[in-house]
Structure 1
Amino acid sequence: MKYGQHLRENIAPEYGPEPYLNYAHLDGIIRILSGKDLSSADMDSRQVSLTTPAPTNKKGIVLDSATITEEAFISSIDSELTKVEHFTLRKVTDLRNQLDEIEQKLKEISLQDEEETDSLQKLADDVASKFLTLEKYVNLNFMGFHKILKKHDKYCSSAPCKTFYINRMHSQAWVRGDYSDVVVRLSAIYSALRNDQVAEENNDASQSFLRSTTKYWIKTEDVSKVKYAVLRNLPVFLQKTSTGESDSQLTNSVYLDNDQLELYHGRLDKTQGALALRLRWYGAAEPSIVFVERKTHRDKWIGEVSVKERFMVKEKEVQQVLTNTYPIKTKKEKMIKEGSTQDEADDWECLASEITQAISSKQLVPTMRTQYMRTAFQIPFDATVRVSLDTNLCMISERGYDLKNMTVWHRDPNQTIAHNEITRFPHAVLEIKLELKGENAAPPKWVTDLQNSGLLYEVHKFSKFIHGCAVMMPEDVRAVPYWVDDASLRQSIIASGGGRILVRDDMTEQEKKALKLKHPGSGPGANQVYDHLLPFGDIEDNKVNTATGRTNVSKLASKGVIDNSRKYDPSTAGKFGSNFYDDDLEEMEEEQETCMGWLFPFCSPYNNMSVVAPTSVQKIEPKIFFANERTFLHWLHAGITLYSIASAILVFSEDGASWAHWYAMALLPIALGFCMYALHVFLWRADRIKTRIPGRWDDPRGPYVLGGLLVIVLSVNFITKLEQIWDYESMEL
């Protein structure tokens, strides 16, 4: 499907085609320009004459004002950019005005009146739906400008202009504008309609958290849809900035590690008690308050839960924490004087002592920094359900500069960062944190619906710290996480100089073996058993199969099924007409990827495509392997028991031709079948557990077959013995 057709099929009915990029017109200009043999400007001449004839092409034909020239394309591009910008700003203004009306009505109504609250709820839903429609409009045009400019530079290479106009487009308000105020106001409206109750503040000095956390990747174009889905159920945790309240806040975290990357490898291997130590602050300004945080990994299968603990210090005290000179005793006495209980002070002292001693004994220094804009959704002081969304995520190396005896503990933001010292993550990261009562408590329905919406791509145990270290320190890591093989990350990893942790598709087997020996974590097969966990696949060129992620929808899409009424035929993708200007295969694949990106509209008012839930990834704990072993032993025990019974019958049967002999011989193959079945199922299930293959891990047929055979033999024996007793009684009579 070419982009022009894709654009026409996704035009919002309420907008009509007029506000959209006139792709066909620009495409026509390029067709004409690509067929002309235009003369190029003389780059050396610095004088002109006002009395010379008009310029001509190589054929000597004068280029008059009616001839389509390069200026016509430039003028059209300028006009289209202005049109899209004005339309976007007008629509945003209309949405803000509608929010003003809703907020005014909210002050006038009683929240106890269900009819009025339902009416306002529908108005708020309508504003949110229109905002998502506007965002899709922006994305369609944004992609359209990229496509048409790329096509222009390809067929009119004498006058390339893509770089200039892409930079210009990124500076315009319709692209770079921050419309998060719409999200903030919608959140406040929904919160008021829900009548959210603020929980009591927890003043625990150590601020410890016990939660179950699931992490997901989100495509950039789906961020607003996910925000809307969450804020309808949880309020945005507003952040105070220099320009007012915003829905997001810049978050910086400097992670500590030593030269051997001991903490990195511990967190990667998920060893019991593995630590992650970081220094965190909020806001774009230089930090004044810093949180010293420790995350400790605990294995769930032994009944423990991973925990995050932290305490707060002033920026000037960070050096004391890093050099183990922090006055813990003095601080503890001050806490007690200020009203903290003895238990709180003791817990704080224990945490501070353990962290400072770990930094000193393990020789930990600043190693890697994460930086992102975090949007948090939570009822204040209520951690039952907390959702955080991290966008504009990047990881920055904190190695390679003088720490000046720990007086400097993070990179100077005014210094230039080399390309191999920063990596920009191409997706947003969503964390859903649940703190539910009871081991078998289920999450709220809206959380389950969001997980099954097709907008989220679960990445098991994803870590910003691990990803940043693996990409920016490829020579120091002994192993890498499985998700680096995801095709969607390849470009960002290579741009950051971490390409050696990847396995190229064009590598020979000898090169792959050599790479595996030199870098065990990056060699072929290191993450082979986890390839099905990669949200966008591990083959960079397989656009159709990897564009939509690990979902049932993507499996259908890869076969050409878009929805119930439309079917895309991949066989026509490679067929080109006689016109040399048609898009080549590479552009066709890119446009297929673009189309796939819109397979999952959420709350779209004009697209009724059905969404199929992603296949959930099974959670693996050591107790699952133990359960598999216990099941194997139970089946083996049943087989051995049957074999022992059959052997005893054979030993004690007097006549080899008696019924007892045949009964025992019938039990022996069944006993052997139990043992062979136990071994087969054990190995089959162990493989599925190891590779975390989604789906059923039980065998619904085997037990019926073996159990049925055993029941048949026992029934035949019962009937035979019953007949023998009957015959014996008849003879006695």
Structure 2
Amino acid sequence: MKFGEQLRSSVIREYQWHYIDYDGLKADLKRPSGPLRPVAPRPNADPSKPIIQRREWTEDDEARFVSKLEAELDKVHTKQQVKAMEISRRIAVSEREVRDVVNRLNERGPGEDGPSEEEFMMLEEDLSDIIADVHDLAKFVQLNYTGFYKIIKKHDKMTGWHLRPVFETRLKAKPFYKENYDASVVQLSKLYDIVRTRGNPAKGDSAAGGSQANFIRHTTKYWVHPDNVTELKLIILKHLPVLVFNASKEFETEDTAITSIYFDNPNTWDLYEGRLKKTEGAEAIRLRWYGGMKSETIFVERKTHREDWTGEKSVKARFSLKEKNVNPYLRGELLPPAIFEKARKEGKKSEKAIAEDERLAREIQWSVLKKGYRPVCRSFYHRTAFQLPADARVRISLDTELTMIREDNLDGVRRSGDNWRRMDIGVDYPFSQLPPGDIVRFPYAILEVKLQTQLGQEPPEWVRQLTSSHLVEAVPKFSKFIHGVATLFPDRIHLLPYWMPQMDVDIRKPATHDFGIKRLEHSTTASLTDEDEDEDDSDDESPQRSATGRAGESSTSAAARNGRPSALAADIEDQTTDRPSAEGTYLYDSEDEDDEDTRLEEARRVGGWTYYKARAEASARAAARGTWWLLKALVPRPRSTQVPRNARMESLLGPGQIQERRFKAPPGKKIYVPVRVEPKVYFAAERTFLGWLEYSIYIGAIALTLLNFTTEHGSRGSFAAAAAFTLLAFVSLCYSVGIYLYRSRAIRTRRVARYHDKAGPSVLCGALFAAVALNYALEGKTRGLW
């Protein structure tokens, strides 16, 4: 599906007259007023074809186009500003209404009636409508932002004039796309939680376990496309409130910033490989702080991986340290007893907890000094956490603006000097002052779902729907540390995580089930069509008119309900994305698909022998494809059995065809796929070897019996049979030893190998049958039976 069709089918009714006039701008590009000029032929073009002539793009055309583009930018920016102010006013009004209802609830006397259920229901409907408005505005901004960059790229490609650098300045002057909805999300979350609980929100420690030194959670991780971040936040806040540690303080963007500095040995990369391979006891050491660079409290953390067969869970342990003491601690000048001396005197923590922190500080300090661990990379992101206060059974966090930055001095550049962290950056994302080689901006947000459920207990239904929806892409065992090291040190790291080849694949998916932000009363999404649709923007017929009850619904789901398959997965424009720019924005790439229909249509406009030749070539290619498929269908060959998809798989993957992709590592690199190895795998390999050894002994015993306990008359035939059984026993013994050594090495190195044996048992049984048949034939001949 081309962007023009996507724009028309995703229009929200309230905004339908305020979207970018993408079709009008594109039509303007196709009406240059300059003199005719020949188009340069392609390198392999047929010289017999006539030369196509097109008009040149002049300064008057450029001025006209820029003027129209400016008008469209003003229109979009004005609507965004007006709607944002309207949402702010509506939130303020709702806050006063909620406060009034809660005051009446708290101040009622004995026997007096408080607010009715209808009042709370009306407030909830009003807040749901505001949430839908925020969602619609975010979709409106995202769609227009994509449209502006697509039309600018199309302009530069078609005219040869470079407008993109100039127009980026105009976009910065009217940054409608930089609206931050985090403050609105926090306000709506607080109000919705009060209304949902009917004025009795859960109370308790906002940290909900954050003050503990050791905690264990079951965590699953997902990637979230930037287009879906706001919608995901609005969906979650309807079930969980935003976790605010200091409710009395006004919300600031800096409050959500989290920065971590990871350590490793830059010569051996022990910590990187240990965390990548998930070996038993693999560690990750990092220093973390919350907020800006002025934060005085630094948390020294160590994450330890435990295999399931040990009966233990992976644990994260940490202790706090003053920023001024970090350098002496890492250099070994400040010992752990001196760090916790003040805590012992104050008596705020138990002696047992202090002893555990001191032991942890001693172990981390020993590792840093003895194993040569140094700061190698920094991760920065803004985290929005959702959790009920004092209840950590369900905790969801969404990390946005994830960035990895080098902290080392390996290439001779003094980034941090003698300090434990570099001081030339803070929380000023996107860190445009850094050189490209020092920074990697991650293109997606990271969703972490942390559950503490009892044995056999299922997670909440809404969590299951969220994690199986089109808004997220599951990436098990994703690690910011592993990704940062793998991308920042390409010349030193040769073992890559499994998700690296998938970074260039668009993770956006069509909606598989009805899940998302909805309005309770009326529809706001409209699909519009244009009778005079341009042929370059659509490969199919124009979409049917439809109206749905979902705000900002994607064109894919609308097409699915209209009974025609979605083309989103095969669209080149929607599948390729550029890396984020220095300003931290995402620019969507677009290339017009030069398919066979386009070439044939171009030849039809030229006419004559050019058209007949193109038509013949297209028919020949179609015939060749048909012949090839016919031969594949007729030639006997093994064919897979089609297993019907059950209801659960259809709810997760949809009824359409499942596409498979094969990825290859770059030259000189290897992709490491996690392999789970438990002690019983070693024992299974040993038992299999002993089974083969027992079999070989039995065959050898048969050979010795034939050789030593036969009469002299039948010695020749018996000797030949004994030789066959002896050879079979020897081959079986050698084969079992070779298979055991191969499997043991594969298990130790955690290689993805075939541990099943398809040919060995069958060949051995066949050889045993041949040996028995040989013995029977020789004995029968000796006895004169044939």
Q: CA deviation at 1:118?
A: 2.0
Which amino acid is the alignment partner of residue 468 of structure 1? G
Matched, 1:212 2:224: no
1:485–1:628 distance in 2 versus 1, CA, 3 Å? farther
Aligned equivalents of 1:242, 1:580: Cα separation in 2:
70
Indicate the residue corresponding to 1:19 in structure 2: 18
Q: Which moved more, 1:141-150 or 1:238-247?
A: 238-247
1:285–1:329 distance in 2 versus 1, CA, 3 Å? closer
Q: CA deviation at 1:251?
A: 1.4
Which amino acid is the alignment partner of residue 295 of structure 1? K
- For the aligned residue pairs, the C-alpha RMSD in angstroms reads 4.4
Indicate the residue corresponding to 1:6 in structure 2: 6
1:337–1:124 distance in 2 versus 1, CA, 3 Å? same
Q: CA deviation at 1:394?
A: 1.1
Aligned equivalents of 2:434, 2:84: Cα separation in 1:
36
Indicate the residue corresponding to 2:29 in structure 1: 30
- 8 Å CA contact 1:206–1:311 kept in 2: the answer is no
Residues 245-282 of structure 1 show CA distances to partners (whole Å, capped at 9, x for unaligned) of 04762211110111211111111111111110111112
Query: How many residues get paired?
Result: 534
- 8 Å CA contact 1:89–1:174 kept in 2: the answer is yes
1:403–1:425 distance in 2 versus 1, CA, 3 Å? closer
- 8 Å CA contact 2:208–2:390 kept in 1: the answer is yes
Matched, 1:151 2:151: no
Which amino acid is the alignment partner of residue 209 of structure 1? F
Residues 284-313 of structure 1 show CA distances to partners (whole Å, capped at 9, x for unaligned) of 334422111111111123211111111111
Indicate the residue corresponding to 2:141 in structure 1: 138
1:628–1:382 distance in 2 versus 1, CA, 3 Å? farther
Q: CA deviation at 1:430?
A: 0.8
User: Which residue of 223, 226, 245 maps to 2:229?
Assistant: 223
Matched, 1:104 2:104: no
Indicate the residue corresponding to 2:501 in structure 1: 485
Matched, 1:412 2:410: no
Q: CA deviation at 1:479?
A: 1.1
User: Which residue of 262, 270, 275 maps to 2:278?
Assistant: 270
Indicate the residue corresponding to 1:73 in structure 2: 65
- 8 Å CA contact 2:124–2:192 kept in 1: the answer is yes
- 8 Å CA contact 2:408–2:416 kept in 1: the answer is no
TM-score by length of 1: 0.65
Q: CA deviation at 1:8?
A: 1.4
1:349–1:206 distance in 2 versus 1, CA, 3 Å? farther
Q: Which moved more, 1:141-150 or 1:159-168?
A: 159-168
Please list, as runs of the form range in 1=range in 2, the aligned pairs for 1:349-388 lying within 5 A after superposition: 349-388=358-397
Please list, as runs of the form range in 1=range in 2, the aligned pairs for 1:107-126 lying within 5 A after superposition: 107-109=99-101, 113-126=116-129
Which amino acid is the alignment partner of residue 565 of structure 1? G
Please list, as runs of the form range in 1=range in 2, the aligned pairs for 1:290-309 lying within 5 A after superposition: 290-309=298-317
Point out which structure has higher relative CO (alpha carbons under 8 A, 6+ apart).
2
Q: CA deviation at 1:547?
A: 5.0
Matched, 1:316 2:324: yes
- 8 Å CA contact 2:236–2:386 kept in 1: the answer is yes
1:298–1:551 distance in 2 versus 1, CA, 3 Å? farther
Aligned equivalents of 1:198, 1:691: Cα separation in 2:
49
Please list, as runs of the form range in 1=range in 2, the aligned pairs for 1:637-656 lying within 5 A after superposition: none
Matched, 1:424 2:463: no
- 8 Å CA contact 1:323–1:406 kept in 2: the answer is no
Q: CA deviation at 1:226?
A: 0.9
Q: Which moved more, 1:224-233 or 1:394-403?
A: 394-403
- 8 Å CA contact 2:257–2:382 kept in 1: the answer is yes
Aligned equivalents of 1:282, 1:338: Cα separation in 2:
25
Q: CA deviation at 1:240?
A: 6.8
Identical positions, percent: 33
Aligned equivalents of 1:580, 1:98: Cα separation in 2:
57
1:24–1:369 distance in 2 versus 1, CA, 3 Å? same
Q: CA deviation at 1:337?
A: 2.1
Residues 664-721 of structure 1 show CA distances to partners (whole Å, capped at 9, x for unaligned) of xxxxxxxxxxxxxxxxxxx9xx9xx9989xxxxxxxxxxxxxxxxxxxxxxxxxxxxx
Q: CA deviation at 1:186?
A: 0.8
Residues 159-203 of structure 1 show CA distances to partners (whole Å, capped at 9, x for unaligned) of 321222134324523112223221111111122123331234678
Q: CA deviation at 1:362?
A: 1.1
- 8 Å CA contact 1:453–1:613 kept in 2: the answer is yes
Residues 87-135 of structure 1 show CA distances to partners (whole Å, capped at 9, x for unaligned) of 0111111112221222122122257743222221111111111211111
Indicate the residue corresponding to 2:469 in structure 1: 453
Q: CA deviation at 1:13?
A: 2.0
Aligned equivalents of 1:337, 1:108: Cα separation in 2:
47
5+ residue gaps, structure 2: 38-53, 106-114, 515-554, 572-592, 606-648, 659-672, 696-742, 754-786
Aligned equivalents of 2:120, 2:683: Cα separation in 1:
53
Please list, as runs of the form range in 1=range in 2, the aligned pairs for 1:172-191 lying within 5 A after superposition: 172-191=174-193
Please list, as runs of the form range in 1=range in 2, the aligned pairs for 1:573-652 lying within 5 A after superposition: 574-576=596-598, 578=601, 612-614=651-653, 621-622=676-677
Residues 30-86 of structure 1 show CA distances to partners (whole Å, capped at 9, x for unaligned) of 111276559xxxxxxxxxxxxxxxxxxxx999x9xxx96321111111111011000
1:113–1:105 distance in 2 versus 1, CA, 3 Å? same
Residues 567-597 of structure 1 show CA distances to partners (whole Å, capped at 9, x for unaligned) of 3577996522745999xxxxxxxxxxxxxxx
Give runs of ≥4 in structure 1 deviating > 6 Å. 201-205, 239-243, 549-553, 569-573, 627-630, 689-692
- 8 Å CA contact 1:453–1:611 kept in 2: the answer is no
Aligned equivalents of 1:337, 1:581: Cα separation in 2:
90
1:288–1:179 distance in 2 versus 1, CA, 3 Å? same
Q: CA deviation at 1:473?
A: 1.2
SS at match of 1:477: coil
Q: CA deviation at 1:562?
A: 4.1
Please list, as runs of the form range in 1=range in 2, the aligned pairs for 1:236-275 lying within 5 A after superposition: 236-238=242-244, 244-246=250-252, 249-259=256-266, 260-275=268-283
Q: CA deviation at 1:449?
A: 1.6
1:412–1:286 distance in 2 versus 1, CA, 3 Å? farther
User: Which residue of 563, 566, 570 maps to 1:565?
Assistant: 563
1:224–1:204 distance in 2 versus 1, CA, 3 Å? closer
Which amino acid is the alignment partner of residue 150 of structure 1? K
